[in-house]
Amino acid sequence: MANTPGAKKSIRKIARRTEVNKARRSRVRTFLRKFEEAVAGGDATSAKEAFIKAESELMRAVSRGVVHANTGSRKVSRLAAQLRKLATA
């Protein structure tokens, strides 16, 4: 248990930051799900729009520190591969 005032303040800060990061992570997952649904539907144009939004949201999460840079890049790369696969099919 935290004893010093500084440690208690750190606990409060971490709790606030955790809530914000949880919301940001959830938002990213929502955009990823929308992209996956568009790909499953087979519509290339809606998948392209969903990809642009998902990529933007992922990179925003990377810049905020919610997702590691390599993780964000890897996910965007895999989404782009799915989009290419859909476009050629």
Q: Residue 89: pLDDT above 90?
A: no
Instruction: Indicate the domain borders of the chain.
Output: 5-88
Helices (DSSP H) in the chain: which residue ranges? Answer: 5-41, 44-64, 69-88
Quote the pLDDT of residue 1: 76
Quote the pLDDT of residue 27: 97
Global pTM value: 0.86
Average pLDDT over residues 40-66: 95
Q: What are phi and psi of 68, to 5 degrees?
A: -65, 150
| SS3 of residue 60 by DSSP | helix
DSSP state of 66: S
Q: Residue 2: pLDDT above 90?
A: no
Question: For residue 42, is it left (φ>0), alpha (ψ between -120 and 50) or beta?
Answer: left
pLDDT tens digits along 14-44: 999 999 999 999 999 999 999 999 999 988 9
DSSP string, 12-32: HHHHHHHHHHHHHHHHHHHHH
Residue range 5-88 in CATH 3.20.20.20: no
